[in-house]
Structures are given as C-alpha cells and as structure tokens.
Structure 1
Amino acid sequence: MFKKIISYFYPIQLYKTTSEISKTLEITLVNGQIVLDSLNTNYSYGSLQRILRKGLQSIGFENIKSLQHILVLGVAGGSVIKTLVDEIGYTGKITGIELDEKVIDLANKHFQLNKIKNLNIIHHEAFEFVLKTKLKYDLIIVDIFQDTAMPGFLFENFFQHRLTEIVTANGYILFNTMILNDHDNARNKAYISFFKPEKYNVWTLPRVEEHNELILINRKK
C-alpha cells in the first residue's frame, strides 16, 4: 500500500530485465498502476491502454461484444486484452501473437494473462502467422513495436493484402502507429491509400497521446 501511494508522486521500478528482441523491459508502478515499459515507450497499460481503448471505442463496445474471434498481433503485457475482457465484457475467442517470449513470461507473471480463459497466446512471428493462418477474424488489432521502432513489414502491400484476406466481411482492422516525423506521416498516408473506398471504410484517430495515430479499417460486406 505504501508503494502504491508513493507511486502517485514518482514511478517505482519493480522489476527490470532485458531481452534480445525488446532490449530493456521494466515493470513499474505508476499512479497506483503496474505498467510494462521498454526503454523509450510504454508497452502496456498506461498510455498504450488509453490509446487502444479509444480505437475500440471508435469501433463501438457493443459492436465488439458481438464478434466471434479477435486476433491481437503484438500482445506485450496484454492491456488491450484486459480492456476487451474486463471493460467491454468480450467473451468470444481471442488469439494473441507475441514474438518476445520474455514479454509473454512477464505478462503471465505480472498481469495474469494466463488466467483469461478465452485467450490463447501463441509465441510466433506476426508476419509468418498472418501468412500461414487459415482462419478469419472479425477484428485484427495490430500493435507491434520494438521500443519506438515499427517493423517495416507492417507497411508492405503484401502484408496489408494478407490482412484483408483474413478479416471477415464487415470486420475491422485496428492499427496502432507512431508518428515522430514527416516521413512517418507520409508512410501512414501511403498505407491508407492501399484501401480502396469502394471496398473499405477507413478513418484515423490522429495524435492520440501526442505521437500515436490509430488507423481503422472496416471491410465492407
């Protein structure tokens, strides 16, 4: 209780480790809440949870509750999964894909993701999973970062096309991006132009928590 009170005045580091993929990983108590951070950004809970919650709100909580299967590419500590289960009351199937095995261990130990019954976390590379999966998903959440860097494959047309093949008719893609400069802004505009208006509804939530832009895609029936 004492640490929780102190955390409202300054962050308290509870655990720190490293991984080959994410480099520095820290479990910190901030404003009474445990968060997962990399060296330069919030990985789960904290600002990231607020960012993705806004995206889910834009889709509509009641709409999400009716979906059958959600795919999360980039689980980290699982804050968006906690929003789906605890806040929205989603009871359908959730498949989470996470490349960093150390992050999965932290998520289970500190955030109890392994206790969520409708969640299946798979240790896998997101590109390969999307390439190989034979299932379709009603909502695909793409939230893949290595610290502040976003892997280049996320913006390749082949990956975008594959996402459109595995999202259901009237399904959604929620893509969390970070804009730090003019190049990133142009990159996002090029990404959006891939989705033709006769087939997709596309909208953005810019400057969420200052540097993040959410891109939302709804595949028309």
Structure 2
Amino acid sequence: MTEKEKQQKHKQVESEKFAKRFTTNLKDEISNMETKQTSKVTGTIIKTAIATTQQIDAERQYPSNTSRETHVHADKRKDFIEEETSNTTTAPPRGNPLDLQVTCGNDSDPYLNLESELHGNKQANTDFNKLLKEPSDSTVSAMVIRIKSEKHTDRTINSMAKKTKNQENPVCLTVLKWNNNTTVDKAGVRTVILQQGNTTYDTAE
C-alpha cells in the first residue's frame, strides 16, 4: 500500500468514526431543544462538532508532554465557542474562511473542516463547493444541511454526491431532516460519506 493509499484509508476510517459519533451526539443534543431558531441550532452543531472531535482525540495515544488543547479556527461565533466548549483556543480562519476548523494538540493540520448551512439549498450548495475547494490536509471534511421534506432527502444526497465525482477524499454530509414549523427536537439526523460520486457509508443502514 502506498503512502497516499494509507492516508486515504486513514481518512475513510476517521470519517466513519466521526460520522457515527457526530450523528449520535447531535441527536442527543437536539432531543431537548424545543426551538425553531436556526441560529441556536447552528450553535449546537458547532459545539457538537468540537466536542465530537475532542472525544475522538481523547482516545489517541500521545507522549505525556503533548498538549491536549483543541485549537479552533472559526469564521463566526468565536465568543460562543469559547463560552460553550472547554480546553479550546479560538483564532480567525486559515485561508478560505470555513465555519470551523478544529486542530488537536500539536498537530499542524486540522482534524476537522466543517461547513453548516440550514437556510436553503442554494447557499448549502455554495458552502459545499467551498468545502470541496479547501486543501485536503484535514482528516475529516464535513457539511451539515437542512432538509425540510423527507421526500427530498435522497435526491439531495445524490445531488451532493455528484459534486464529489473528482474528490479522492471522503466527505461527511449530515442531513438534518427538520420540517417547516416544527421544533428541532422532532428532527431526524442522518450522515452519509460521499466519495468520487458515490455514497460509501450511511448511518441510516
């Protein structure tokens, strides 16, 4: 196995791990949120993504003198992140401004690149394209979108998958199935992994 193949295998394994845990954690977080406000839900998504990364990082083996601090580069909500998360430092985005980049300990490359867009398909497509254009130095790339009708879920996933046709690295797509005029605690959460135009992993299965 070449070094490149090893890196891609590692990213696939870590992406599946993140997808599974993030989906479970986000379900737990929103289960008691009786709100229709997308801004509050976006905050919860960001907080949950950071916590999931920290949870995974806590299982890694480090030399005893290695920093376990989490470094967060955020396009927005820096004050919220500092207030709502522990053992983190925040800084402006690096390069292309993503909603969130999370780096663990002494690592030079981010573990997680994340975009979240809950308002509409047009902006979600724009943000997904931005995520795909980001250099592939992160271990996990993730996007969170909102679907307001169950029947549109598979169609939207297939549409997003086509955008990854030339992507060698996996991309996690979390779909928040949140109908209009309902509180988010009624929403469903499903994460798929998209790669080279295909779905390679699905938490619904």
Q: TM-score range by the shorter chain?
A: 0.3 to 0.5
Q: Which of the pair has more CA radius of gyration?
A: 1
Q: State TM-score, norm by structure 1.
A: 0.42
> Where is the helix percentage greater, Structure 1 or Structure 2?
2
| Larger strand fraction of residues | 1
User: When the two structures are superposed, what TM-score results if normalisation uses the length of structure 2?
Assistant: 0.45
Question: Relative contact order (alpha carbons < 8 A, sep ≥ 6): 1 or 2 greater?
Answer: 2
